[in-house]
Amino acid sequence: MEEMVLVLDFGSQYTQLIARRIRELNVYCEIHPWNKIPEITANVKAVILSGSPFSVRDEQAPQPDLSQIKGKLPLLGVCFGAQYLANQFGGEVLPSKIREYGRANLTFVNENFPLTKDIPDNSQVWMSHGDTIATIPENYEIICSTADVKVAGYHINGEQTYGIQFHPEVYHSTDGATLLKNFIVDIAGFSQSWTPDSFVEQTVSELKAKLGNDKVVLGLSGGVDSSVAAMLLNKAIGQNLYCIFVDNGLLRKNEFEEVLENYKGLGLNVKGVDAKDDFYTELKGLTDPEAKRKAIGKVFVDTFDKEANLIEDVSWLAQGTIYPDVIESVSATGGPSATIKSHHNVGGLPDYMKLKIVEPLRSLFKDEVRRVGRSMNMPQELLGRHPFPGPGLGIRILGDVTAEKVRILQEVDHIFISGLKREGLYDQVWQAGSILLPVQSVGVMGDERTYENAVALRAVTSTDGMTADWSHLPYEFLAKVSNDIINKVKGINRVTYDISSKPPATIEWE
């Protein structure tokens, strides 16, 4: 089994960042809720305790069972994790007289400890806490401080246990990567052997053993996740993988034909299904975003089920589920997670589809999926594609969906995306798209008054989609795209550009 870092999640907004930073060191890690600690097997070589929105002084604060961890494995407490290890074992945590949020600088660093090796005295760190460690137990030793926080970090004598009050996983902690490497490599002794090539080799081997000669069906979307999942499965079982690519009538212009051709060029056993009319019929008259998503999901499942039943003796359904989907389905506090919006490819299958599930990417983040695809020599055009919502243009047309509205938005979107690629801006943007607004506005075209549709263009920068900022595209580019859209797309006389960040706005409008 792969050697692993176990990250116990107490509900911090930064927990996924801890995992991502560890993965960047070519070390495998998993996030688990603090109240669902998995069995500590021999491959678990270190544990990290995350931050939390709770105070250790709260009655409902997490109380993890660390009896199989503390003093037995290298252990690092971050923020809440550090306060918990101090408070629980004889120290005292009190409300801060000066709360620290944001940037701070270390004023003292004891480099004699392996955790703080190569961390300079003035290193910038990122703080986010309202409590402070007032006193530490007798066998604890301070290893770093800031001007306002004396116990910014400590070590427990006789153990490989450390606590730090700041967040090394956040980019604003300038030496955070060094500190994590010190803990993971120097203290815990990881070999840094978890690479894209090793992932492909191990995953293909596991898939061969798991699937044998069974047949697998996979719904391709044209996106990165399902495409990389398909290539891994193709390496493992070849023609026993049956791929289905459904045209729901909500794809981008020419996307169905182009993507289908790309898949066949990769040697995949793929069938294209034109189901546009079925989707348009189900969507007729629907304006509520959730109702539209559910309708699109229903028709997709029905279409996929019909096609899957044409394959004799199929046993497995493959999905492109990735690690953030898995993490976000489990609440760190044990309570229900809020539903912002539903996705038709999340939540499993209806009861009548009796297939076992295989998810080759469920341990990977999105950027890791792309790296795995590159290691299999997949074309950059496919791996570099922007994320595209499962319901497609159906949730970029505000209000009811018709074939004519789809046609208009496809033309607008084609001009926008083609322009980004032509001007070398596409790869600088995390995601871009066009939204057809449910309003009409007055315009003048030639000598005539017009009363036509308005569209919004949306382009954002991000690392993982969890937060995003609007892309500062050149004014000249936006002016040209706007002019091209209004001149070339009949039915549009006004173009706007969305400059909202996430949060508070989501990337998609519905």
Joined tokens for residue 289: 């975003």
Q: How many CA atoms lie within 13 A of 32 on its CB side?
A: 16
Burial class (CB in 10 A: 0-12, 13-18, 19+), 298: middle
Question: Which residues, at least 6 apart from 47, have a Cβ–Cβ distance to it below 8 Å?
Answer: 5, 6, 7, 8, 69, 73, 74, 75, 76
User: Which position among 3, 100, 169, 282 bears the catalytic label?
Assistant: 169
Cis ω before 53 (30° cut-off from 0): no
> How many helices (DSSP H) and strands (DSSP E) are in the chain?
13, 18
**Cis peptide leading into residue 503 (ω within 30°):** yes
**Residue in 79, 129, 155, 368 annotated catalytic:** 79
**CA-based max dimension of the chain:** 85
Among 129, 144, 155, 167, which one carries the catalytic annotation?
A: 167
The verdict on whether 79 is a catalytic residue reads yes
* Of 5, 355, 368, 359, nearest in space to 206 by CA: 359
In the block, tokens 């990290």 appear at 48
Q: Is 418 exposed, middle or buried (0-12, 13-18, 19+ CB in 10 A)?
A: middle
**What does the block give as tokens for 490?**
């009949």
Distance CA 211, CA 190 (A): 31
- Catalytic positions: 79, 167, 169
